[in-house]
A and B are shown apart, each in its own frame.
Chain A
């Protein structure tokens, strides 16, 4: 067993940290305030190879795998949680799923721009009345011979109105259900009949766009069907098992950011004639954050290691996501207490940590869903895939 980094992983960590400090950190405050998505950061990530994880070099992949990917994502998310979505949105969501299930033409057409950052990616399952119960979605694609016609709407789609290429899961059988869903690749810039509405009022993730998508007789060519018709549900589950690593890693990074901030503040803030870190009650808070943060990160790395080695990882991914999300919310909550009144002001990032931490308990499988996955696999009700 080896807990150390390889030489490449060390360099990836150093590079991602420097990238986040140089290209993301200077804009965090102003972009949060303006709820602004700084598109050029994604382009720069693409240029640096930060979007091409576990992908072949012929499509623009960077030749590195899951361990390096979570290492990089962790450093980026520590600086600004909103940017943790970029790797899921471009690489682990659409690009990796197209690589697994797509035709040669689909791979050649859609993967390179997603990995280079030329295109913004997204994926869409959730509807107004269909969240955890993915199979209950209603949006429908009708087979018209040469093409499909899509009608219906999607809600809470990360990057929905900013993306160029996205996967959309819809019913292709009357009544839908897990055996009646299919996955389509949508070329948003060249498809008529899609209205994309930004959702501007949300608790956190202010620099990461969220959208409602309304499809009205949107024509999608047959060659954009990903995988066989009516096999969208297993494709979706396969994809989520990858993209959830973005949540797990992003949450672990947020808890680390809250911990690092709290440690610095506890050493600097003086009360009763000494730094507040000298008080045992504050020490208990720091220790709790440290323990949970470290445990979260180890779970993230273990799940990444399983994926890197192509071993079953669904349970470990859910454990990583479930625990990291708890750690993130708890760390953000404790940070607010350590910082005291200053934590409640905009001067310090405690408010952002707390706002952003809450997303993790809902996105890409609620904590309840992940609890049932962990237990279901443990009890033998479902295999670990």
Chain B
């Protein structure tokens, strides 16, 4: 144990050095992200000081862009498990080599989720009220307390797995399976739980018929398994190109297979939901009517949802073209369309229409304000910073370029990989 008290600080110091070393391109990228993040920080500071009147939200539509992004990104975090499952459950060797990319994506995503919840709070200065043991934690009744637990739990599990693996490589030791395998398997179950709980946040509300559907949690999981793999497929190509690592066609093939199924299941579930809403009709169909066709002359979401449907259908078609199996360009296009399609469908297409019409059936529309867009962009930028730094840290280490025995003689090992 004593050895760790010396080697761990050294490990952290090396990590800091490594994460801040890179090429000009790396510095430009990080500088841009920092700039966007700072714009977000400033907008948030104004929002706290002046109040949430700076947002487009109202007492009618009391959640907007922040919670929409939160919901989507919980899915992104959960979707990363689509790398863990093949790697550990089905012993996919190639996936195993890059599974840490998924775990890092999960970490970055959860951090973004926590930030999105924070910026949605009217009184972030009272954050300690929601801390178990210190504040008054309404567990197990409030689904939001479950969300706090599962999200932070998922963050810790992934931090542990990733941190442990990197640290062991740093020490030049073989990781002890007892120290990480149980956590990997736990993370698989946990990934499903984070998105299930997030769906339960909404589906448990009897007063919101648009959300009050048993299909919501399955839909969330399926769309998470679109967003996650779609993002990772593109990310893996970027990583191998920018970090000069060998390509991982096997992993990408596996993820594409998952994607080809989930895009179809997602469309099927959307169709089932719409059938149930509209076949019977009546007032319960009001939100759906507003969303798809407009209601009482108001149609602010119609463009969004049809764009989402078009993107989802088009991506499903593209991903099923035989050419998408040989052309990364086509595959990437399909992934991008699917990613954006799900982002809209879950945000402006699901969170917002849950509030329109209001519980007293007033149709008050919602348009995100400039401050909301700034803050949202800032959080995305910060998430990408976390992911970039994480990848820089993880990849050279996992390639075995950096370990305790090599630190001294090989001081600049990290800078080879940007």
Q: Do A and B bind each other?
A: no
Chain A residues with a Cβ under 8 A of chain B: none
Chain B residues with a Cβ under 8 A of chain A: none
